[in-house]
Amino acid sequence: MSTRPPYNSADVQPPVSPVIEPGYTYASVTDKISGIVLTRPTSLGWVAGFALTFTLVMVLTVSVAWLLAKGVGIWGINVPVGWGFAIVNFVWWIGIGHAGTLISAILFLLNQQWRTSINRFAEAMTLFAVANAGLFPLLHTGRPWMAYYMFPYPSTMYLWPQFRSPLIWDVFAVSTYGTVSLLFWFVGLIPDLATLRDRAVKKPIQIVYGMLAMGWRGSARHWHRYQSAYLLLAGLATPLVLSVHTVVSFDFAIAIVPGWHTTIFPPYFVAGAIYSGFAMVLTIAIPLRKAYDLEDFITMRHLENMAKVMLATGLIVAYGYFYEYFMSIYSGQKFDLYLTKMRFHGPYSHFYYALILCNILTPQLLWIRRVRTNVLALFVMSLIINIGMWLERFVIVVISLTRDFMPSAWGRYSATFWDYATFAGTLGFFTMLLFLFVRVLPAISIAEMRELVAETSEDQK
Amino acid sequence: MEHRSHIYGVVAEFPTEHELIQAVEKTREAGYRRIEAYTPFPVEGLYEALALKRNNVPLITLIGGLTGGLGGFFFQLWVSAIAYPVNIGGRPLNSWPAFIPVTFELTVLGAALSAVFGMLALNGLPRPHHPLFNVNRFVRHATSDRFFLCIEARDPKFNLSESARFLKGLNAVHVDEVEDD
């Protein structure tokens, strides 16, 4: 047997594309990223994009106003499908949020350098997605001004929430998730807000960033505690993000409806959430790096790594679909068998086939390196996966509810104009918030990029 | 000893983190104790050079997490078994497995809130103004690309001209007096 030479880390080939193009200094990364906010003139494209998405927000406002005036009857929901678009959209939006937390927390704990330039806007995406997600169950209650009933407070009626209900778990899971995501994002922003405060020229801008930065001055003792807090938040957000979609899946899995009552739901919901979230990160990252010349910071390495994460989580999701199918056959339970038959041959089978096409078949192209490194192909793929994940929730919610245990309880569901208008409105709200975010806050963490410059220049020595 | 009350300290500017760490080590060797470094990003090895002890953020986080978790669990138990008991087919009122999801969420919430607000409180933030902001070069570079070391006037060894000369001797590119106000 030949003797292997001892392991030498210098023999290991570095990856082809770097996480940051060489040649940047602390000053130049600071200038480049803060310049997007402070010195770059507002482009026509930004104004046009903002105007378009703002119009959609107006559509949302009208839809919500009409809903409040008339009630949830304006939506397509009725017996037996009481959930419809509202819950489909809720699960879709909350799933999208998961990639942000995964990038910022889990990849941070795993010490993955490539998370650095994408974590900030992915976290912003999480916040905006959670805000939209929260809107749907709130509106779905029919009387959103009574939503505080779901929180435990000492009421004059001596009434308390039912803590054994998954819907109450959901209230706690989603509100905790929203709060922790906001804290994580804001803590990450503090040093950058200080940078913007110190680089802003106009007094009012200095004051606004100054108040938000809270007097951060980069003191070593502050950094010391800051790093502890950030690490702890990452450690807390990691199980949290897994728990949130687990609890969302409990909304289904705890019920006895055929197709919902399965133990595969929590892991497969979490994988699906990460899958759709990474797709959304790509959908945002690709135009963002193009529009603001950030190709040096969001490199092909980032895009390719995200494509790999999508491929991996997509396979977990595919396994979930297969397992659902297998279990219904293996159990021999006639209601489950019938549901599976309805997925393949029922009135909504075209949704199911579209879902398989979007979520399982098309993403297999990501095995090919040329697809993973083709920006346009990745962008199209991310849109397809976003659609596929929406279809998945539609299949889960609608097919199961329209084919319950008794034929007398069967029915059909179709969405109305107001369902579509509300959904389009939240898409606009999400995108509008992103437009505002890239205009007023650094879309890439400047402090972490400086750290990356320090680390990469260390590596080259 | 020269001691002027309107002086906060002297601050020296360094171009790289390595020079800062060396300067911190030498300043401590020279016997200065009330010193603080300012960097645009967290620098590895700086805490050791400054001989910073462990901070209390993890402890505060633990306390916050335990409070959230235990408080959450026993609150649910109280609500479900004492304040508003609902008999559903004779099932136990203390159905503790059903309380776990909310207990977990409140543990994370308590811990995360105390980590962030604990960190801010220990850091004395928000504090909109600080004497160092009187130094123009500090404002321009401390949160961008330069590394600063400040010897504070409350250090027993502090002497304005001598400390400034000492910092200049450490190859600082710039040394400024910091006025207190």
Question: Closest-CA residue in chain A for B21?
Answer: A220
Q: Which helix (H) or strand (E) holds B150?
A: strand B147-152
**How far A205 CA sits from the closest chain B CA (Å)?**
14
Asked whether residue A69 carries a pLDDT value surpassing 90, the answer given is yes
| CA distances in angstroms from A450 to A97, A336, A340, B113, B146, listed in the order given | 26, 55, 53, 27, 11
Please report, as a single letter, which amino acid is at residue A428: G
Number of domains in chain A: 1
**A230 falls within a domain:** no
Nearest to B112 among A194, A197, A236 (CB): A236
Q: Which of A226, A244, A444 to mutate to test the interface with B (most CBs of B within 10 A)?
A: A226
Please indicate whether, in this complex, the C-beta atoms of A198 and B109 are within 8 angstroms of each other: no
Comparison of pLDDT for A458 and B139, the residue scoring more:
B139
Q: Which of A235, A261, A258, A232 minimizes the C-alpha distance to A249?
A: A261
Please indicate whether, in this complex, the C-beta atoms of B143 and A191 are within 8 angstroms of each other: yes
**A282 falls within a domain:** yes
Between residues 66 and 105 of chain B, which touch chain A (CB distance below 8 Å)? 75-76, 79-80, 83-84, 86, 95, 98-99, 101-102, 104-105
Please indicate whether, in this complex, the C-beta atoms of A236 and B108 are within 8 angstroms of each other: yes
Cβ neighbourhood burial of A124 (10 Å; 0-12, 13-18, 19+)? buried
Between residues 210 and 249 of chain A, which touch chain B (CB distance below 8 Å)? 210-211, 214-229, 232-233, 236-237, 239-240, 243, 247
Please indicate whether, in this complex, the C-beta atoms of B145 and A199 are within 8 angstroms of each other: no
| CA distances in angstroms from B40 to A232, B16, B140, listed in the order given | 21, 11, 11
Q: In the Cβ-directed half-sphere of A349, how many Cα atoms lie within 13 Å?
A: 9
Q: Strand, helix or coil at B12?
A: strand
In sequence order, the β-bridge partners of residue B52 are none
Please report, as a single letter, which amino acid is at residue A298: I
In terms of phi and psi (left: phi > 0; alpha: psi -120 to 50; beta: otherwise), the region of B7 is: beta
**A260 falls within a domain:** yes
Asked whether residue A429 carries a pLDDT value surpassing 90, the answer given is yes
Nearest to B143 among A194, A221, A229 (CB): A194
Query: What percent of chain A shows pLDDT beyond 70?
Result: 95
Distance between CA A439 and CA A452 in Å, rounded? 24
CB contact at 8 A, A307 and A283: no
Quick: pLDDT tens for B101-140. 999 999 999 999 999 999 999 998 888 888 888 888 888 8
Size of interface A-B (CB pairs under 8 A): 192
Domain range spanning residue A94?
Answer: 22-141+238-453
Please indicate whether, in this complex, the C-beta atoms of A451 and B42 are within 8 angstroms of each other: yes
Nearest to B145 among A27, A161, A168 (CB): A27
Which tokens is A264 given? 């595969």
Please indicate whether, in this complex, the C-beta atoms of B52 and A220 are within 8 angstroms of each other: yes
**How far A73 CA sits from the closest chain B CA (Å)?**
32
pLDDT at A3: 64
CB contact at 8 A, A427 and A19: no
Question: Closest-CA residue in chain B for A215?
Answer: B128
Query: What tens-digit pLDDT sequence spans chain B (181 residues)?
Result: 445 568 888 888 988 888 888 889 888 888 888 888 999 989 888 888 888 888 899 999 999 999 999 999 999 999 999 988 988 888 899 999 999 999 999 999 999 999 999 999 999 888 888 888 888 888 888 888 889 999 888 888 888 888 888 888 888 888 888 888 7
Count of other CB atoms within 10 angstroms of residue A125: 26
Please indicate whether, in this complex, the C-beta atoms of B132 and A217 are within 8 angstroms of each other: yes
**How far B148 CA sits from the closest chain A CA (Å)?**
9
**How far B147 CA sits from the closest chain A CA (Å)?**
9
A chain contacts of residue B47, beta-carbon cutoff 8 Å:
220, 224
**How far A383 CA sits from the closest chain B CA (Å)?**
32
Quick: pLDDT tens for A27-65. 888 888 888 888 888 888 899 999 999 999 999 999 999
**Residue given tokens 């059903």 in the structure block:** B98
In sequence order, the β-bridge partners of residue B11 are B150, B176
Q: Which of A155, A366, A404 minimizes the C-alpha distance to A278?
A: A366
Handedness of CA A351, A353, A358, A360 (dihedral sign): positive
Please indicate whether, in this complex, the C-beta atoms of B57 and A225 are within 8 angstroms of each other: yes
The pTM is what?
Answer: 0.90
pLDDT at A393: 93
* Mean pLDDT, residues A272-285: 91
Between residues 139 and 158 of chain A, which touch chain B (CB distance below 8 Å)? 152, 158
Residue B53 DSSP one-character state: P
Q: Which of B123, B129, B178 to mutate to test the interface with A (most CBs of A within 10 A)?
A: B123
**How far B97 CA sits from the closest chain A CA (Å)?**
9
Q: Which of A153, A222, A444, A452 to mutate to test the interface with B (most CBs of B within 10 A)?
A: A222
The per-residue DSSP string of B72-140 comes to HHHHHHIIIIIIS---STT--S--GGGGHHHHHHHHHHHHHHHHHHHHHHHTT------GGGG-HHHHH
Three-state secondary structure of chain A: CCCCCCCCHHHCCCCCCCCCCCCCCHHHHHHHHHHHHHCCCCCHHHHHHHHHHHHHHHHHHHHHHHHHHHCHHHCCCCCCCCCHHHHHHHHHHHHHHHHHHHHHHHHHHCCCHHHCCCHHHHHHHHHHHHHHHHHHHHHHCCCHHHHHHHCCCCCCCCCCCCCCCHHHHHHHHHHHHHHHHHHHHHHHHHHHHHHHHHHCCCHHHHHHHHHHHCCCCCEHHHHHHHHHHHHHHHHHHHHHHHHHHHHHHHHHHCCCCCCCCCCCHHHHHHHHHHHHHHHHHHHHHHHHHHHCCCCCCCCHHHHHHHHHHHHHHHHHHHHHHHHHHHHHHHHCCHHHHHHHHHHHHCCCHHHHHHHHHHHHHHHHHHHCHHHHCCHHHHHHHHHHHHHHHHHHHHHHHHHHHHCCCCHHHCCCCCCCHHHHHHHHHHHHHHHHHHHHHHHHCCCCCHHHHHHHHHHHHHHHC
Nearest to A158 among B56, B84, B113 (CB): B84
pLDDT at A8: 63
Please indicate whether, in this complex, the C-beta atoms of A228 and B55 are within 8 angstroms of each other: yes
Q: Which of A362, A355, A361 minimizes the C-alpha distance to A391?
A: A355
B chain contacts of residue A221, beta-carbon cutoff 8 Å:
36, 50, 52, 123
| CA distances in angstroms from B163 to A7, A159, B8, B131, listed in the order given | 49, 67, 12, 18
Asked whether residue A460 carries a pLDDT value surpassing 60, the answer given is no
Phi, psi for A430 (deg, rounded to 5): -60, -50
